[in-house]
A and B are shown apart, each in its own frame.
Chain A
Amino acid sequence: MLEGFLTYGLNYNARLVEEAGLDPDNPPLTWEGCLDWHRALTKFDGAGNLLQIGLDPYDAMGSYFGADHGGAFFPLSWGFKWFDNDARTFNLNNENTVEALDLMGEFYRIAGPDNIGGMRQVEGQGTWGGSFNTEAQAMIIEGYWHPGETMTEKPEVGVHNRATWAPVPEGRKGAKLAGTSLHYVIFPKDGKNSEGMFKVAEFLCTDAAAEIVFNAHGWLPPRPSFLEKVDPSVYPGLDFYFDAVPQVTDWVVPARCEIMGFVDTQFGVLREAVYRGEMTAVEAAEEFQRRCEEEYQAAGFA
Chain B
Amino acid sequence: MSILRSKRLHVFPSQFRSLLPGLLFVSPWLLAFVLWTVYPTAASLYYSLTRYDLIQPPVFVGLKNYIEIFTNDPHFGRAVYNTLYYVGFSTPLGIISAFLLASLLNTRVVGRSVFRAIFFFPSIVPAVVTAMVWQFLLNVQYGAINSVLRGLGLPAIPFISSPQLAKPSLILIHMWAQGSAMVIFLAALQDVPRALYDAAQVDGANALQRFRHVTVPLCTPVILFNLVMSFIEGFQNFTLPWLLTQGGPNQATEFYTVFLYRNAFIYLRMGKASALAWILFVIIVAFTVVLFKSSARWVYYGGESE
Chain A residues with a Cβ under 8 A of chain B = 45-50, 113-115, 117-119, 121-122, 124-125, 136, 259, 261-262, 265, 269, 272-273, 276, 278, 294-295, 298-300
Contact = CB atoms under 8 A, between A and B. Distances in A.
Given A265-B266, A265-B267, A276-B163, 19 more contacts: A45-B153, A46-B153, A49-B155, A50-B141, A114-B161, A114-B162, A114-B249, A118-B140, A118-B141, A121-B135, A121-B160, A122-B141, A122-B142, A136-B141, A261-B266, A261-B267, A298-B64, A299-B268, A299-B269
Interface of B: 51, 53, 59, 64, 68, 72, 135, 139-143, 146, 150, 153-156, 158, 160-163, 244-246, 248-251, 262, 266-269, 272
A261 B150 CA distance: 38
Given A298-B68, A300-B51, A47 B141 contact: no
Given A121-B244, A122-B139, A299-B53, A269 B249 contact: no
A149 B244 CA distance: 26
A113 B249 CA distance: 9
A-B pairs, top 6 by smallest CB distance, nearest first, are: A118-B140, A117-B161, A114-B158, A118-B161, A261-B266, A118-B141
B161 to A, nearest CB: 3
A124 B139 CA distance: 12
B139 A118 contact: yes
Nearest to B61: A300
A47 B155 contact: yes
Nearest to A46: B153
Nearest to B154: A47
A272 B249 contact: yes
A132 to B, nearest CB: 14
Nearest to B266: A261
B248 A48 contact: no
A294 B72 CA distance: 9
21 contacts: A46-B153, A114-B161, A115-B140, A115-B141, A115-B161, A117-B158, A117-B162, A118-B139, A118-B140, A118-B156, A118-B160, A121-B139, A121-B161, A122-B141, A136-B141, A261-B268, A272-B248, A276-B250, A278-B250, A299-B51, A299-B53
A115 B158 contact: yes
B143 to A, nearest CB: 8
Contacts of A46: 153
Q: B-side binding surface: helix, strand, loop or mixed? A: loop
A114 B140 contact: yes
A262 B140 contact: no
Interface centre among A46, A113, A273 (most CB of B within 10 A): A113
Contacts of A261: 266-268
B264 to A, nearest CB: 11
A137 to B, nearest CB: 11
B59 A300 contact: yes
- Max count, chain B CB within 10 A of own CB: residue among A117, A259, A265, A272: A117
A48 B155 contact: yes
A265 B146 CA distance: 29
A121 B244 CA distance: 7
Given A50-B141, A259-B267, A118 B53 contact: no
B76 to A, nearest CB: 13
A49 B153 CA distance: 9
B262 A265 contact: yes
Given A117-B161, A118-B161, A262 B141 contact: no
Contact of B267 (A47, A124, A299): A299
Contacts of B160: 118, 121
Residue from A50, A113, A298 having most chain B Cβ neighbours under 10 A? A298
A238 B160 CA distance: 36
Contacts of B262: 265
Contacts of A119: 140-141
Contact of B250 (A124, A265, A272): A272
Nearest to B268: A261
Contacts of B139: 118, 121-122
B245 A121 contact: yes
Contacts of A125: 135
Contacts of B155: 47-49
A126 B228 CA distance: 37
Contacts of B267: 259, 261-262, 265, 295, 299
Which of A118, A262, A272 has the most CB atoms of chain B within a 10 A radius of its CB? A118
A47 B269 CA distance: 46
A49 B140 CA distance: 9
A265 to B, nearest CB: 6
A127 to B, nearest CB: 12
Contact of B140 (A117, A272, A295, A300): A117
A49 B148 CA distance: 12
A278 B53 CA distance: 32
B199 to A, nearest CB: 55
A106 to B, nearest CB: 17
B251 A269 contact: yes
